[in-house]
Structure 1
Amino acid sequence: MEEQDIPIDINSGKLLEWLTNRRHCNKDWQTNILTIREKINTAIQDMPVHEEIAKLLSGTHINFFHCKKIVEILKETEADTKNLFGRYGSQRMKDWQEIVKLYEKDNLYLAEASQMLIRNINFEVPGFKKQIQKLEQMQNELEKKEVDYKKSENLAHSEFNMICKQLGISGNQIKKELVERVKELPDIYQSVAKKTKSIGNVVEFYNAFVEYTLGRSHNGGCVPIVNYVIEKGNTTTYEWTYGEAPLSIVESPLDISLDDDERQFDDTQIDFGDNSVEGVNISGLDLNDTIDFGDVSLEEGEIDWGDVNIDQIVEGEIDYNISLESGIVVEADGNDGGVATGKEALTILDNPSTRNDFIDQLFELEAFLKLRLYEFKGDNSKNLLSMSQMQEASSILQLATLDSTQNMLDNVQIILSEILDSRVQHLHNIKHSPRYVDALTATLKQKLALVEKMKSLQTVTREKRDVTRKQVLEIQPVLKLVIQRTRELQNEIEKDISKKYKNRIVHLTGGVNTL
């Protein structure tokens, strides 16, 4: 094989070093190139309008090979300035011809072109690719965020609907609808009281067991309020306390302001934290706790004496028959009772204190029955009441079986589940605590505000994603053009070096083809 047929392989990254080692270019070429760049910047300001020139000047920095093409174009555009001796009178042509000559001196153009090639391969093209990759990654992250915001929106909306459904409201005028639902409480409590009558045998069974095991009976029974509801129903607390029905009942009106009762989507509302509203357990408002209103003291000026004409009160006409035990004035017409006000006007199942006692006593019955079932299912020798002991017990204890005890437990648990239903708990707390209403309303409005906030974030995220996509679409053509110009520059360099070595084939390895 002849030497001319052997290709010359040059590593692109070491091209400039290869040229200086073989004395094709001087090491101080950069100092001389500054003059040329200044002349190019000056000459480029005065260019004819030409499509080819516009293409040459786009994409990458202008180099020697561009200058030669510009001269060829100017030979056409400046042809009318050519004189008899073949020289051009156009200053444009003179400027660019001078630039080409300066480039050819000491092969400055080859050193500069090599540096441009290396910069494009190592920095320009990877930089554009990295920028596109970063934008695409950002675009993916924005898409994920948008999906997450949508999920949060759906979750908040479903939670709002779930709470409203649980409360039986539409959620348009939250406070007003909640206050209207409070009117259902009397019917609910009436249903509970009616079902309580079915556990009279449970109370009898429990009292008999306690009396037999302790040898004495409790005054009023072990579960007095449950026993009272069975016998009297859901009467007023007044009647439960004093043993007589009141002549009249004056129940306090609901102290709930409806001024701010409208849907608000302000995301600056109070943050109540992760308050679950499965039975809406709002900060400090546990549905299983009773709202304590403190001891009510009657200060001077708080008693409403009605329309009393002092002039009509004559000495000797005042009835001083006052019961010191109950504080009830016995009316002159002989009817027992008085006026039930405040908490005494509430029914037993509506009054927070008696209601809690009623629930506690139901739990007491439940625990007792569960223990009896455990004994029935366990070892009879370890039962609290063995067969020999049962001979002396009352008939209700002797006749108790596993099935009858289980049936009694089921009845107790039905009553517990109804009075402890989350909706009933809500309505009870709404009636007896304005703060609870405000907190519950704020929680619902917070859900709505979260829905709107998530919608807004989706819109913003979508806009950012569109901007990012647009930037990617703008950079991709630029990257394509830079790669194209780099490939052209590499081909020009390979041809130029090939001419210096008797047209041997030159390959720049690791160049633009690897991009």
Structure 2
Amino acid sequence: MNDSDIPIDIHTNKLLDWLISRRHCQKDYQKSLDLIRSKIKLAIVDMPQIDEVEDLLRKNVFDYYVCQRVLDILKKTDRSSKNIFGQYTSKRFQDWQEILKLYEKDNIYLAEDGQQLIRLVNYEVPSLKRLQSKYEQQIEEMERSILTQQKQSKNFLNEYNANCKKLRIEGESDDIRKELFDQLDQLPKRIDEIVKKISGLKPVFDYYQTFLQFILPSSIECLPILRYLLVNGNTSFFEFKHRRKPDSIEEFHLGAFIQQQSCQKNADDILDDDQIDFGDFSIECQTIGEKDPNKIESIEIDWNNCAESTMKSSIETESNVARGEEALGLLLNTEIHNRFLNELIEIEHFLLSRIAEMGSYYAIESFLFESAPTIIQMTTVDDLEKILSTVKEFRSEFESPSIKALYYMKNSPKYVENLYHKLNHFKELSKKALKKANDLERKRLNLIQNHSDIGPQIENLIDRTKSIQKRIEEAISKKYNNRIVNIMGGVQVL
């Protein structure tokens, strides 16, 4: 095999060292390159205004082969500047001709191509690929964050809707506070609907009352509120308080009343002046000794006015009109409401105790209650469990979350504010999470755009790397009688 048949293999990282060691380039090639680039900067100032030249200027990549292309263009544009010997006399042509000669001296163009190849293979293309991978990772993280924020927004919104559902409000308007106050007007109606089922507690009331009278004959009257409700229903508080029915009941809007109290409380909190104005009591006092004892003035009493005042007071006291909070149902009174709940709890515990006693000591129970009333003897454990279930069902309906919230709102305007802030907090958190998700989505789209822009850049750099590597291989091959030259670790690794 001839030496000409043996390929020349050169590793990319060793390319410049190989060129210098084979005396194709000088060690100080960088100084010559700097000189050439400074001359190129001066030469591009004076260029013909044609599209091809402007395209080269926009790319702003000037190497040996681009300079050759510029010189070819100038041969066409500066054709008129030839002298009688066929030489170009224009300065810009001579400048570019000088640049090419500097490139060809000591194979500076070959060293520049080798330098560019190493930079592209080791730095530029890998850095863009790393940036591309970084964008891909950021896009994945952004997508996970977006899903997390959307999920949080949905959870907060579900929590908000669940609380609104418990309170039986829509929660779609901007004024949630007004919806809460409007819901208060539904409380009397809802209580009346529950009280309609109170007849189901009649058996347990009779059983409990009979049991207490049998065990404690001298016991006081039991379950007074339940007794009243079973006999009279949910009457107005006026009727319960005064033990007589009112001639008329004035309409009373509970929601508007509580809202007015809330506004008044907020206004009182804003006031900074806590001083009390006692008025102007500039009364002139005269002692008895200052007057003549013999000239004591007589004081006349107007009995007609007294009679009129007494009559007005009597009429106001004996007024038979239910107004204000007395016009509301009995169970809307806080004290009565709490007493009634205590009675229901008392019944529950009693029934639980009776069921436990009858289940454990039935023989002893039978002996002790031989003389008990029929209702006690005939009631079995199964009957008590059914009654207990009825009591629990009634109590759970009476203490549902929405009913309890309405009672809290009725008793404390501040609770309405706390409830409003809690609901509004869920709503704001949902909006905030959704806004963050939208912001992240915009960032994700920007990252996708940046990622898509990098792809063509990498392809262009790889194509440029192929072109430079091929030029180097061809240039070296010419110097070695067209032997095959292989640049190893070049574009192949990209």
Asked if these proteins are the same fold (TM beyond 0.5), I'd say yes
- Distance in structure 2 (CA, Å) of the matches to 1:259 and 1:355: 22
* Post-superposition CA distance 1:380-420 (Å, at most 9, x none): 35x69644334354433322223211220221122112212
Q: How does 1:35-46 map to 2 (within 5 A)?
A: 35-46=35-46
- Distance in structure 2 (CA, Å) of the matches to 1:126 and 1:60: 22
User: Do the aligned residues in 2 keep the contact of 1:193 with 1:230 (CA within 8 Å)?
Assistant: no
- Distance in structure 2 (CA, Å) of the matches to 1:316 and 1:80: 131
- Distance in structure 2 (CA, Å) of the matches to 1:249 and 1:514: 95
- Distance in structure 1 (CA, Å) of the matches to 2:164 and 2:363: 49
- Distance in structure 1 (CA, Å) of the matches to 2:439 and 2:171: 30
User: Do the aligned residues in 2 keep the contact of 1:176 with 1:258 (CA within 8 Å)?
Assistant: no
Identity %: 36
Q: Compared with structure 1, are the counterparts of its residues 244 and 384 closer, same or farther at alpha carbon in structure 2 (3 Å cutoff)?
A: farther
Query: 2:407 — aligned with what?
Result: 428
**Letter in structure 2 aligned against 1:423:** S
Query: 1:254 — aligned with what?
Result: 257
User: Do the aligned residues in 1 keep the contact of 2:164 with 2:171 (CA within 8 Å)?
Assistant: yes
Q: Is there any run of 5+ residues in structure 2 with no aligned partner, and where? A: 264-277, 280-301
Find the residue that maps to 1:219 and give its secondary structure. coil
What TM-score, normalized to structure 1?
A: 0.74
Query: 1:273 — aligned with what?
Result: none
Q: How does 1:406-445 map to 2 (within 5 A)?
A: 406-445=385-424
Query: 1:75 — aligned with what?
Result: 75
Structure 1 residue 363 and structure 2 residue 345: aligned?
Answer: yes
* Post-superposition CA distance 1:294-335 (Å, at most 9, x none): xxxxxx99xxxxxxxx9853379859xxxxxxxxx9x589x9
- Distance in structure 2 (CA, Å) of the matches to 1:124 and 1:59: 17
Q: Compared with structure 1, are the counterparts of its residues 51 and 122 closer, same or farther at alpha carbon in structure 2 (3 Å cutoff)?
A: farther
Q: How does 1:319-358 map to 2 (within 5 A)?
A: 346-358=328-340
Find the residue that maps to 1:504 and give its secondary structure. coil
- Distance in structure 1 (CA, Å) of the matches to 2:129 and 2:364: 86
Deviates more, 1:37-46 or 1:365-374: 365-374
Q: How does 1:491-506 map to 2 (within 5 A)?
A: 491-506=470-485
Query: 2:3 — aligned with what?
Result: 3
**Letter in structure 1 aligned against 2:183:** R
Find the residue that maps to 2:332 and give its secondary structure. coil
Query: 1:314 — aligned with what?
Result: 306
User: Do the aligned residues in 2 keep the contact of 1:25 with 1:107 (CA within 8 Å)?
Assistant: yes
- Distance in structure 2 (CA, Å) of the matches to 1:124 and 1:157: 48
User: Do the aligned residues in 2 keep the contact of 1:59 with 1:478 (CA within 8 Å)?
Assistant: no
Query: 2:96 — aligned with what?
Result: 96
What TM-score, normalized to structure 2?
A: 0.76
Deviation at 1:337, TM superposition (A): 8.7
Query: 2:287 — aligned with what?
Result: none
Query: 2:462 — aligned with what?
Result: 483
- Distance in structure 2 (CA, Å) of the matches to 1:187 and 1:491: 92
Structure 1 residue 182 and structure 2 residue 168: aligned?
Answer: no
- Distance in structure 2 (CA, Å) of the matches to 1:67 and 1:371: 107
Q: How does 1:116-515 map to 2 (within 5 A)?
A: 116-166=116-166, 167-169=168-170, 171-172=172-173, 174-209=176-211, 215=216, 218-221=219-222, 223-237=223-237, 240=240, 254-256=257-259, 312-314=304-306, 318=310, 346-374=328-356, 380-381=360-361, 386-446=365-425, 449=428, 453=432, 456-457=435-436, 459-515=438-494
User: Do the aligned residues in 2 keep the contact of 1:245 with 1:337 (CA within 8 Å)?
Assistant: no
Deviation at 1:175, TM superposition (A): 4.1
- Distance in structure 1 (CA, Å) of the matches to 2:309 and 2:387: 57
* Post-superposition CA distance 1:279-307 (Å, at most 9, x none): xxxxxxxxxxxxxxxxxxxxx99xxxxxx
RMSD: 4.0
How many matched pairs? Answer: 453
* Post-superposition CA distance 1:40-79 (Å, at most 9, x none): 1111222334555556566674222332333334333333
User: Do the aligned residues in 1 keep the contact of 2:262 with 2:413 (CA within 8 Å)?
Assistant: no
**Letter in structure 2 aligned against 1:129:** K
- Distance in structure 1 (CA, Å) of the matches to 2:20 and 2:71: 28
- Distance in structure 2 (CA, Å) of the matches to 1:31 and 1:466: 46
Q: Compared with structure 1, are the counterparts of its residues 50 and 239 closer, same or farther at alpha carbon in structure 2 (3 Å cutoff)?
A: same
Q: Compared with structure 1, are the counterparts of its residues 318 and 205 closer, same or farther at alpha carbon in structure 2 (3 Å cutoff)?
A: same
Q: Compared with structure 1, are the counterparts of its residues 181 and 30 closer, same or farther at alpha carbon in structure 2 (3 Å cutoff)?
A: same
- Distance in structure 1 (CA, Å) of the matches to 2:18 and 2:303: 127
* Post-superposition CA distance 1:440-475 (Å, at most 9, x none): 444445555556556655554444444333333433
User: Do the aligned residues in 2 keep the contact of 1:8 with 1:504 (CA within 8 Å)?
Assistant: yes
User: Do the aligned residues in 1 keep the contact of 2:188 with 2:328 (CA within 8 Å)?
Assistant: no
Query: 2:113 — aligned with what?
Result: 113
User: Do the aligned residues in 2 keep the contact of 1:495 with 1:506 (CA within 8 Å)?
Assistant: yes
Deviation at 1:507, TM superposition (A): 1.4
| Higher helix proportion (structure 1 or 2) | 2
Deviates more, 1:147-156 or 1:467-476: 147-156
Q: How does 1:39-58 map to 2 (within 5 A)?
A: 39-50=39-50, 53=53
Find the residue that maps to 2:393 and give its secondary structure. helix
Higher-Rg structure is 2
- Distance in structure 2 (CA, Å) of the matches to 1:448 and 1:316: 60
Q: Compared with structure 1, are the counterparts of its residues 181 and 343 closer, same or farther at alpha carbon in structure 2 (3 Å cutoff)?
A: closer
Query: 2:283 — aligned with what?
Result: none
Deviation at 1:258, TM superposition (A): 12
Q: Is there any run of 5+ residues in structure 1 with no aligned partner, and where? A: 261-299, 302-309, 320-328
* Post-superposition CA distance 1:337-364 (Å, at most 9, x none): 9887776665432122321232233233
Deviation at 1:488, TM superposition (A): 0.8
- Distance in structure 2 (CA, Å) of the matches to 1:240 and 1:449: 46
Deviation at 1:105, TM superposition (A): 2.5
Find the residue that maps to 1:507 and give its secondary structure. strand
**Letter in structure 2 aligned against 1:359:** L
**Letter in structure 2 aligned against 1:76:** K
